Amino acid sequence: MTRLRAHLDGLRQRGETAMGLFLTAGFPSPAATLPILQAVDTAGADFIELGMPFSDPVAEGLPIQQASERALAQGATMAHTFETAAAFRQTSDTPLLLMGYANPVMRYGVGDFCADAASSGVDGLILPDVPPEEAAEVEEAAARHGLSITHLIAPNTSDDRVRLVDARSTGFVYAVSVTGLTGSGLGDTDATDAYLARARGLVEQPLLVGFGISTHADAERLTRHTDGFIVGSALIREAARLWDDRDLTDSARRERVGEWARTLKTGDAPTS
């Protein structure tokens, strides 16, 4: 069992809600990524998704598109992503996933990629543009190196396909809350609740929901039928706001992004 799955299963058994946070490697600068990861980890993130910068992130809304562009413009590479993962792992046991697109993985070589990810302390992969029908090579390489694979479902996913995704996922099932891009906001409340309730009845793996979540209230509503939630675009926006504010010290930035993550998880107001 992977570190990710053991952690999610433990939370599930205790009736606790998992919070996953996404940040693009190399954003808002190559030097700033690690301190942000460490701050949100300390603040209570249950797992972290480290985004692999890519020039054409097809499922992403504007905040994550711009984060990839900014990271690449500052020289972010796959090597830097692995270095960031390894540095994070030196000080934390929190599960760490790589999330991104197939193109960079295929160019790197699937076997080499999984080997280097595992040696960097990564626990699993999420590749939104690799459906289960096309994932055999990635799944086999990931299994050899002890990495979990997470597949995605959406509101228009059929029951049979939800079961297929559940059977092929080894980390968790990622329920996209809306049919659209990341950061696009939440859709119709009743329809979303019905979709997540349907998914809950079909999925045996941990079920986590993402896309469009910005606040603790959003997370509370969407986790009535799920085991946890994932936030990416809102963290990207907060990191950009803090690290682009030249009046703040690095210490203040780290403290504030940590407070933001803590508030997202608990709903408690920041202490300062």
3-state helix, strand, coil in the chain (%, to 5): 50, 15, 35
**Residue scoring higher pLDDT (249 or 179):** 249
Q: What is the mean pLDDT of residues 145-163?
A: 97
Dist CA 235 CA 63 (whole Å): 9
Q: Which long-range contacts link 34-37 to residues 24+ away (Cβ below 8 Å)?
A: 34/84, 34/87, 34/88, 35/250, 35/253, 35/254, 36/239, 36/254, 36/257, 37/84, 37/88
- Residue 183 confidence (pLDDT): 45
Dist CA 264 CA 43 (whole Å): 10
- Residue 40 confidence (pLDDT): 99
Q: What is the mean pLDDT of residues 238-247?
A: 97
Could you read off the pLDDT of 18-33 as tens digits, one per residue?
999 999 999 999 999 9
Give the pLDDT band (50/70/90) at residue 14. very high
Q: What is the mean pLDDT of the chain?
A: 94
Residue 192 phi/psi, 5-degree rounding, is -65, -45
Question: Residue type at 70?
Answer: R
Which DSSP symbol is given to 155? T
Dist CA 97 CA 119 (whole Å): 13
The residues annotated as belonging to the active site are 49, 60
- Residue 235 confidence (pLDDT): 97
Could you read off the pLDDT of 58-75 as tens digits, one per residue?
656 788 889 999 999 999
pTM of the entire predicted model = 0.94
- Residue 188 confidence (pLDDT): 62
- Residue 30 confidence (pLDDT): 96
Q: Which two tokens stand for residue 65?
A: 């598109």
Q: What is the mean pLDDT of residues 248-255?
A: 98
Instruction: Give yes or no for residue 181 having a pLDDT over 60.
Output: no
Domains of the chain: 3-265 (3.20.20.70)
Residue 162 phi/psi, 5-degree rounding, is -60, -45
Dist CA 109 CA 42 (whole Å): 34
**Residue scoring higher pLDDT (60 or 90):** 90
- Residue 58 confidence (pLDDT): 66
- Residue 171 confidence (pLDDT): 96
